[in-house]
Structure 1
Amino acid sequence: MNEMNVPKGSFWQLSRKIQLVIAIVSAVSAILMTVFALIQISAVEEKNIEKNFNALLQQRVTTVNDYFQEMRSDVKIVASSPMVQKALIAFSRSWTMMGGDSAEKLKRLYVEESPFPKGEKYQLDRSEQDGSAYGQIHEAYHPWFREFILEKGYDDLILVNATGDVVYSVYKEADYATNLMLGKWKETALAKIYNDAFKLRKGEQAFYDIKSYEALDGAPAGFIAQPIIVDGENKGVLILRLPLQRMSKVIGNRIGLGDSGEVVLVGKDQLSRVQSLLIDENTVLKRRISGPFILQAINGAQDVVREDVDGVDKMIGYAPVSFLNTKYAVVLMQDYDELYGQLSGFKTYMIMGLIAVVVIVVFIGIIAGNRLGRPVVRLTGLVGGLVNGAVRSIDMQGRNDEVGEIARCLNVLYGMSVENRRIRAALDNATTCIMVADENRRVIYMNPAVTNMMRNAERDIQQSIPHFSTDAILGQSIDNYHQDPHVQAEILATLNGIHKTRMTMGSRTFDLTAASVRDPDGVRIGSVVEWVDLTETVAKEQEEKQVAEANYRIRVALENANTNVMVADADRNIIFANTALQNMMVKAENEIAKNIPGFKAKDIVGGSLDRFHKVPAQQAELLTKLDHEHSFHLKLGACSFDCVLNPIIDHNNNSRLGSVIEWHDVTDQLAVQKQVDDVVQAVVKGDFSKRISLEGKEGFMVELANRINELEDTVSEVINDIAESLSALASGNLQHQIEKDYTGTFEVLKQDTNKTSQRLKQIVGDIIIASNEIAGASTEIASGSIDLSQRTETQASSLEETAASMEEMSTTVRQNADNAQQANNLAGRARDVAEEGGKVVNQAITAMSSIEDSSQKVSDIIGVIDEIAFQTNLLALNAAVEAARAGDAGKGFAVVASEVRILAQRSGEAAKDIKNLIQDSNSQVREGVQLVGETGSSLENIVESIKRVADIVSEIAAASQEQASGVGEINAAITQMDEMTQ
C-alpha cells in the first residue's frame, strides 16, 4: 500500500519535512524569543539603571540638605546657649580689663609662646604666663568649645564682641585677637560674615560661601554665623568655620557608586566645594566641572544626562540645592561603561545561550522528525477523532511498531486525560494557590485561588516586575519571578523533592513550595508551585521582633546606666532595679533598715513601693492618679534621697502600666552644702575663723573645700592688714607699714596702701614745716609793727617838745628818720617772709591734691577688691558649668557653686560699702583742699597788706629824712639867730 505520492527515498519525505520544519521553527522561535527578550530586558534594565541613578541622586540631595540643616541647627543651639552668651560677655569684659594692648598679649600668650605647633593650638587650655581674668575664663570654657568642634568636625569656632574684637577662637589662627573693624582685617571674609550677621535679628543666620581665606594662607574656608542677643541687646556674633573635611566625607559618600562613581558639590563658578574621594590632590576650589548642566542645576533643573568629562564618557545626574540663599549644584557622576557593563555582559550570555539552544533544538528536531514522520499521517485521523471525542478507543494497539506504540500511548493518554480532568476540577475548587509549569518552566495552569491572589497583588508585584499582568501569566516562564533565572532553572531541573523559598516583590512577601512532576519512568515533565501570601504575617512578625529588640535595648541601657532606676508595675510592685540602684541600696542598707525594719537590698525586686512611704494608702492614691512627673525627697536613717517618679502610660489604650523612679543619693551633697552655708554665714557676720572640713571628701569636693578655705584665708589676711593700716592712720600713726608679702592684685593693694601712708606722712611733715615758717614770719611782722608803733608815739612826743627845744627836736627827728629806715627794712623782710609763706601755702595745696589722688587710688584698690569678688563669682560659674557637664552627679557641686557665688556677691557688696566710705573720705579731703586754698588766698591778702605797709613805711622814712633836713636848717637858723641874739 502506497502511503504517499512521494517516491520512496525522496528528500521530501514527511519525516524529513518534519525534521526540517521542526528545526527551522524551533531555531526561528528561539532566535525571536531571544531577540525579543534582549530588547525587553535591555529596555527594562536601562530604565532600572536610570531609575536607580535618579534614586541615588535624590538620596544625595537629601543627604546634602540634611547636612546643611544640621549645621544651621548647630549654630542656632550654640548661639542660643546661655553658657555661650555668658562666655562671650566674660571674654569681652576680660579683653577690656587687659587694656589697649590686649590683642598683642593674647597672641603672644596663646599663639607665639604656645607649646603646641600650628594647627594644634587648640590643645592649650590656659597659658602658664596668663594670670589675668581672661586666662581663667579661657580655662573654664575652652574645653567645652574644643569638645564641640572635635565632635562636629568644624574647622573653627570664633566669638566676636560688639566692637569687632575676635575675643576667642578654638584653633587660634591668624585671625585670633584681631579687630574686624580696623586695619587689614576690615575687608576679609571673616569681617564680612561678622558685619552681615551683626545686623540680623535673634535666631537669624548668615552664610559666606567657601572662598580662599587670608588667615589660612589662601586655603579654602566658608563660614556660618548668628548674632548672640541677650535681653534684646546684640553682644556679638558666633562664627563657625565650615567643616570641609567632614562635608567632603558626608556629601561624597560613594556607597552604591561602584569604582568610578562620585558626588560633587559645585558652585556658580563651576568649582568644586568638596574634596573628591577619587583624587589624591586637593580639589576644593581647584577642580572645575564644566558643562551647561551646572547652570541648569543652579537655576532649579534636575535631570540625568550623558556627557564627556575630562575625556571620559560619564552618566551625570544633577540637581539644585541651596544654603541660606547660596545656590549649588549636586552632581552625581559615574563611568558609562561601568554603569551599563552588567547589561552588556548579560546580552553576550543571551546570544551564546541562543546559539546553544538553536543547535540543540535543530538536533532534537531532526531526531523527532525521523521518529514521528512516517506514522503520523496514519494516526492523524485517529488522533483527530480522539481529540474531538468521537473515538473512545484506540485501534492499532496490537501493532508492534511505532504506530502500535503510539496507539497504545494514545489510549493511555485518553485515560490520563479523563483523570486529569478530575484533578483539574479539584484544583480549580481548592483554596490553596497552585501554579503548574511544564518541563520548560512555562506556566500551563493556574487555579482560581492563585489567579485571585495575583490579581489582588498585581500593583505590588509591578513594583518589582513593571510589565507584570495577571492575565498574561499563562504561557510565560516561571523564571520571570526570580532575580537570577539561571539559578532558578538549575534548581527546578535538578529538583527531586520539595524546594521552599521566600520571595519579596514590592511590598508583598510570598512563600513558594515547588515540587517536581515526573512520569512513571522518573523523567521530569514539569513543576507544581504552591503560593502563600505571607505579607500580613511577615509584617506582624517584624513588628513583634522590633518591639522585642526595643525592649531588650531599653533593659540593657537601664542595666548599664549610671542613673539609679527602679520600675514598678501598676500594683506598685517593684519589677526591675538596675545595677546602679542595687549598689546604692547595698551601701545604704543599714541606714534604710532604721526606717524600714528588715530591709534587704538584695530582696528589693518583688517588694512594694509602699514600704518606702510613711502612709501607704496615700502613696497608692497618688500613684493611681499621677499623670505627670512627680519629685519628692526621702529621709531614710542618715541617708537622703531625691526621687523623680514618672508614670508609664500605654498610649494605645491610655492605660497605666506602672511607674519608673530615679533615685539620687544626695547625702554627701547636703552635708557639704551645710558646711559651706555655715562658713558663708560666718563670713557674712565678719567671722573668718571657720573652715570647711576635708574629712570624708573626695575629688571635686576636696578641691572645692581647699579653694574656699584658701580664699577665706587670703581675703581675711588682706582685710585685716588693710583694716590695721587704716586704723593706724585714723589714730595718727603715719609710720605703720604692711610687711607681709602677697601675690598678684593683693600685692599691688598692699604696696598702694603703704605708699598712701608714706605720702600722707610726707605731706603732713611739709605742712608742719610750712606752718612753722609762717608762724615765725608772723611773729617777726608783729614785733616790727609794735616797734614801729612805739617809735611813732616817741616822734609825736618829740614834736610836742619841739617848741621847748629845737635842739632836742633836731636830734629826735634824726633819730626818728633812722628808726623809720629800720622799720622800712623790717617791713621789707616781712614782705619777703610773707611771699615765702604764700609759696609754702601753694605747696600745701599741691600736697592736699596729692592726698586727694592717693584717696582716689585707695578707691581704685577697693575696685580691685570688687574685681576679686567678680573673679570669685566667675570661679563659681566655672564650677557650675563643670557640674552641669557632670549631669545628675554634679547637682551637689552646682549647689556648692551657688553658695560660693552668693559669698562672692556679698564680698562685692562689702567692697562697695568700703568704696562708699572712701568716697566720703575723698569728699572730706576735697573740703580740706578747698580750705587750704582759702588759707592761701588769705595769706596772699596778708602779703598784699604787708607790701602796702612797707610802702607806707618807706614813704614815712623819706618824709622823715626831708623833715630832718628842714629841722636842721631851722635849728641852724635858730642857732644863728641865737648867736646873732647872743
Structure 2
Amino acid sequence: MSVKTKVIGLSLLFIVLATFAITWSAVQNFNQALVEETKKNLLTFVNDKANIVHKKLEDYGNLLKSVAGSDLAEESLVAFSKAFYKLSDEVKVDRKELENKLIEHYDKEYLDKVNYNIEDAPARKLTNQYLPSNLDGKIAQKLFILDNPNPIGEKNKLLFDSKYGDVSYMKVHHKYHDTFNTLLANFDLYDIFLINTEGDIVYTTYKEKDFATNLRRDVYKMSALGRAYFKSLKLKKGEMVFEDIDFYEPSYNAPAGFIASPIYINGKVAGSLIFQLPLGKISDILKEGIDSPTEEVYIVGQDYRLRTELRFKDQIRDKVVKRGGTTILLYEMENEYIKEALTGMSGTGEHTNYIGNDTIIVYSPIDVLGTRWAIAGEIAKSEATEEAEGIIRVIISVSLISLLVVAAMIFFFIDKFMSAPLQSILDTTENISRGEGDLTKRLDILSKDEFGEVSENINFFIARIQDLINDVKDLADHNIEIAENVDKLSNTIASRIKVENTTINAIAENAKNTSLKLRESKANISETKEIIVDSNHVLLE
C-alpha cells in the first residue's frame, strides 16, 4: 500500500470520525435543547392549568360562602324544612304500598345501574336500607322521583306539579327551585343541597336518591356528603370545608367531591348549604388546549390516587380500572415527582409512564380549598424531539456534503503537495538504484516545507555520492599508473633474480664439493685422534 493511499485513508478515517463526532454532538445538543424547551413550555402550561383549576374551585368556594350567607339560603332552608315536615300530613299515602313502589323503582331504575365493581366503593345493601327512614322523606321521593315524569338525570326539570299544587312543599319548591336550578346551570355545579341540623336533606336540585334522606340516621351518613355536612356544622359563619373526592353511591358510585358551608340564622347554625362539584369540568379544564397526540395533564391526591381522568386510560391493563371504567380514585400515580409535588415542590424530569412510554414529566403543587394536590403534565419524549428529525437530516446531509468537499480538497492537497514530491523523489532514487544511475540529475525543489528539505538533502546526498565516485575514479587511475610502473620494475627484478639465481647455483655446487672435502678431512682427523690415544696407552704401560 502506497504512502499516498495510507495518508488519504487515514485522513478520510479521521474526517469521518470527526464528522460523526461533531454531528452526533450537534444532534444530542439539539435534542437536549428541544427537551429542555419542551420542559419549560410544558411546566408553564401545567402551572397555567393549576391556576385555572385553583381559581375555578376557589370561585366555587366563594360562591358557596356567598349563597350560604345570603337571605336566599336562610329563607329557603327554613321554608323547605317546615314544608318537609308537613308532607305526611298533607299527602296521604299507604306507607307500606309506598315503600314497595320505592323498592321496585330502586331495583329497576337505580341499583342495577350503580357500579358495584369498584374496589373501595360502597357495596350494595338491601334495597329497603336506601329508603328515607321517615315517612316525610318517602313522600318527598314520591312527589319528585316516582311521580316525576322526567327521566333519571333530568328530574331537576320539574318545577311544579299541579297535581300536588296544594302541598306546602310543592309551593316552596316552585318558589326557590328555579333560582337554585339556574345557579347550578350557570356555574356548572353537579348538585345543590340544603340540609337542616336534624340531618334531613330537605332539598336537592337534581333529586338523586340522596334526596329526602337523613344524614344522621340513614345509609349515606358516612358518605362524602355526610362527612362534609358534619364538618360544616362546626364552622363559623362565612367559612367552608372541602371534602376530598370519594366514591358516591347516589351518583352511581361515581367519584364526587363536596364543599359545605354552614347557614346561620340569628347567630346559630340552622343547617348547611352543600355543592357537589362537577369533577368532569376539572378534567375538561386540563384537556383544553392540548392538541398533542401524547400530551396529558392530571391531578393526584394525597393518597396518590388520581383526582382527574387519565387521557389514555383505555391503554391501562389494570383490572380494577377496567371494571370501574375510570382512573379517578382507582389508579395510583406514586413516583418521586408526585411525592415532590405533594411536598410543595415544582420541577421536571424524565421517566417511563403508566403505559410504558418514555416521557418528559413536569409537576407542581396545587392547593385547592385547603387541600394539597399534585398536578403533573407529560408528553412523549419522541414527540418532543420529533421536530429535530428534519433538522437532523439537514445536519447529516450538510455533514456528508462537507465530508465529500473536505475529502476532495485533501485528495487534491495530498496529490499536489505530497504525492507529486514523493513521486519525484521515488523516480530519482529508482533511477539511481536501478536505472542508468545518472548522478547528474537533481530533484526539483518546489516548496520550502519538509518535502523541499528532503529533496534538497537528497540532492546534496547525490552530489556527495557523485564527488565520492569521482574521487574513487581518480584514485583508480593513479593506482593503474602505479601498477604499470610496478610491472616494469618487476620485470627488471626478475631478470636480475635470474642472473643471481645462476650465480647462487654455481656457488652452491662449489659449496657441495667443499663439503665433501671437509667430511673427508674430518674422517682423517678422527682416525689420527684414535692413533694418538692408542699411543698414549702404550706409553703408560
Q: TM-score range by the shorter chain?
A: 0.5 to 0.7
Query: 3-state SS of the aligned residue for 2:210?
Result: coil
TM-superposed CA distance for 1:117, in Å, is: 1.4
Separation of aligned partners in 2, 1:23 and 1:310: 46
Structure 2 distance, partners of 1:54, 1:116, is 46
2:392 is aligned with 1:357: no
Partner of 1:197 in structure 2? 232
State the distance in 1 between where 2:289 and 2:310 align.
Answer: 10
Q: Quote the residue 1:974 is aligned against.
A: none
Establish whether residue 137 from structure 1 lines up as the match of residue 168 from structure 2: no
* Partner of residue 260 from structure 1, selected from 294, 301, 315: 294
1:659-678 pair list within 5 angstroms: none
Paired position in structure 1 for 2:211: 176
Which of 147, 156, 164 is residue 199 of structure 2 equivalent to?
A: 164
How far residue 369 of structure 1 moved from its aligned partner, in angstroms, is: 8.9
Is 1:79–2:114 an aligned residue pair?
A: no
**One-letter amino acid matched to 2:147:** E
Q: Is the 8 A contact 2:61 2:369 kept in 1?
A: no
Give, as a single letter, the amino acid of the residue that structure 2 aligns with 1:320.
Answer: P
- Deviation of 1:88 (Å): 2.1
Instruction: Identify if the C-alpha distance between structure 1 residues 24 and 215 changes in structure 2 by more than 3 Å, giving closer, same or farther.
Output: closer
Distance in 1 between the 2:17 and 2:332 partners?
A: 53
Distance 1:103 1:21 in 2: 95
> Cα deviation per residue 1:934-958 (whole Å; 9 max; x = unaligned)?
xxxxxxxxxxxxxxxxxxxxxxxxx
Q: Distance in 2 between matches of 1:372 and 1:236?
A: 101
2:348 to 293, 304, 309: 304
Shift of 1:197: 0.6
Map of 1:418 onto structure 2: none
- How many angstroms apart in 2 are the aligned matches of 1:269 and 1:161? 32
> How do 1:588-627 residues align onto structure 2 when only pairs under 5 Å count?
none
Deviation at 1:292?
4.0
Distance 1:355 1:129 in 2: 88
Residue in 1 aligned with 2:338? 294
Give the equivalent residue in structure 2 for 1:92. 81
Name the residue aligned to 2:48. 59
2:361 aligned to 316, 328, 332, which one? Answer: 316
* SS state at 2:367 partner: strand
| Residue identity opposite 2:142 in structure 1 | R
Answer yes or no: is 1:70 the counterpart of 2:114: no
Counterpart for residue 895 of structure 1 = none
What is the one-letter code of the residue matched to 1:104?
K
Does the 8 A contact of 1:263 with 1:331 survive in 2? yes
Gaps of 5+ in 2: 90-134, 315-324, 421-444, 449-541
1:181-231 Cα shifts (integer Å, max 9, x gaps): 223343333222111111111111011111122323422211101112244
AA of the residue aligned to 1:159: L
Answer yes or no: is 1:271 the counterpart of 2:305.
Answer: yes
Question: Where do 1:845-860 residues align within 5 Å?
Answer: none
> What corresponds to 1:105 in structure 2?
139
Question: Cα–Cα, structure 1 residues 368 and 157, in superposed 2: closer, same or farther, change >3 Å?
Answer: same
SS at match of 1:186: coil
C-alpha distance in 1 between matches for 2:20 and 2:153: 69
Q: Distance in 1 between matches of 2:304 and 2:278?
A: 21
The structure-2 alpha-carbon separation of the partners of 1:75 and 1:362, relative to structure 1 and needing over 3 Å to count, comes to: same
Amino acid at match of 1:347: I
Deviations along 1:945-973, whole A, 9 cap, x unmatched?
Answer: xxxxxxxxxxxxxxxxxxxxxxxxxxxxx
Contact kept? 2:49, 2:285, Cα under 8 Å? no
CA distance in 1, matches of 2:341, 2:14: 53
Counterpart code for 1:299 = T
| Alignment of 1:328 onto 2:373 | yes
- Whether the aligned pair in 1 keeps the contact of 2:57 and 2:369 (CA below 8 Å) is no
Say whether the 8 Å CA contact 1:27–1:361 is kept in structure 2: no
Secondary structure of the residue aligned to 1:176 is: coil
Paired amino acid for 1:63 = I
Offset at 1:291? 2.7
Aligned counterparts of 1:133 and 1:290: Cα–Cα separation in 2: 53
Counterpart residue type for residue 56 of structure 1: F
Q: Deviations over 1:109-145 (max 9, x none)?
A: 1111100111110111112322223212211221222
Counterpart of 1:118 in structure 2 is 152
Structure 1 residues 274 and 355, CA, compared in 2 at 3 Å: closer, same or farther? same
Question: CA contact under 8 A between 2:64 and 2:261: conserved in structure 1?
Answer: yes
Looking at structure 2, the residues matched to 332 and 312 of structure 1 have their Cα atoms a distance apart, in angstroms, of 14
Name which of 31, 38, 51 aligns with 2:27. Answer: 38
Are 1:284 and 2:318 matched, yes or no?
no
Structure with larger RCO (C-alpha < 8 A, sep 6+):
2
Q: Aligned in 2, Cα 1:44/1:312: closer, same or farther, shift over 3 Å?
A: closer
Question: Is contact 1:321–1:327 with CA below 8 Å preserved after alignment?
Answer: yes
| AA at the equivalent of 1:313 | D
Q: CA deviation at 1:343?
A: 3.5
Contact 1:223 1:241 in 2 (8 A): yes
- Deviation, structure 1 residue 158: 0.7
Could you tell me whether the CA contact under 8 Å between 1:253 and 1:263 is conserved in 2?
no
Query: Would the aligned equivalents of 1:22 and 1:369 in 2 still touch at CA under 8 Å?
Result: no
- Deviations along 1:553-612, one digit per CA (max 9) or x if unpaired, are xxxxxxxxxxxxxxxxxxxxxxxxxxxxxxxxxxxxxxxxxxxxxxxxxxxxxxxxxxxx
Change in Cα spacing, 1:164 to 1:344, as seen in structure 2 (3 Å) is same
Distance 1:55 1:164, change over 3 A: same
Q: What is the CA deviation profile of residues 653-674 of structure 1, one whole-angstrom value per residue up to 9, with x for unaligned ones?
A: xxxxxxxxxxxxxxxxxxxxxx
Matched, 1:148 2:183: yes
Distance 1:61 1:186, change over 3 A: closer
Distance 1:313 1:40, change over 3 A: closer
* Post-superposition offset of 1:347: 3.3
Contact kept, 8 Å, 2:247 with 2:256, in 1: the verdict is: yes
* Residue identity (%): 27
- What amino acid is aligned across from residue 307 of structure 1 in structure 2? H
- The 8 Å contact of residues 232 and 262 in structure 2, kept in 1 or not, is answered as yes
CA gap of 1:123–1:25, structure 2 versus 1, over 3 A, is same
With structure 1 as the length reference, what TM-score do the two structures score?
Answer: 0.34
Deviates more, 1:46-55 or 1:122-131: 46-55
The residue type paired with residue 44 of structure 1 is: A
Are the aligned partners of 2:248 and 2:255 in contact in 1 as well (CA < 8 Å)?
yes
The alignment's TM-score, normalised by the length of structure 2, stands at 0.59
- 1:243 is matched with 278
Taking the aligned partners of 2:312 and 2:382, their CA distance within structure 1 comes to 17
Cα pair 1:254 1:261 within 8 Å, conserved: no
Does structure 2 conserve the Cα–Cα contact (< 8 Å) formed by 1:27 and 1:362?
no
Q: How far did 1:307 drift?
A: 2.6
SS at match of 1:73: helix
Determine the C-alpha separation between the residues in 1 that align with 2:221 and 2:22: 75
Aligned length: 363
What displacement does 1:147 show?
2.1
**Per-residue deviation, 1:348:** 4.4
C-alpha separation in 2, matches of 1:26 and 1:220: 63
Contact 1:202-1:227 within 8 A present in 2 as well: yes
Q: Which amino acid aligns with 2:305?
A: L
The whole-number CA distance in structure 2 between the counterparts of 1:173 and 1:39 is 58
Show structure 1 runs of 5+ residues with no match: 1-9, 381-982
Cα RMSD for the two superposed structures: 3.4
Instruction: Provide the secondary structure at the position in 1 that maps to 2:326.
Output: coil
Asked if 2 retains the 8 angstrom alpha-carbon contact of 1:303 and 1:317, the reply is yes
SS at match of 2:163: coil
**Which SS does the other structure have where 1:209 is aligned?**
strand
1:821-847 Cα shifts (integer Å, max 9, x gaps): xxxxxxxxxxxxxxxxxxxxxxxxxxx
Q: Distance in 1 between matches of 2:388 and 2:341?
A: 29
**Secondary structure of 2:399's partner?**
helix
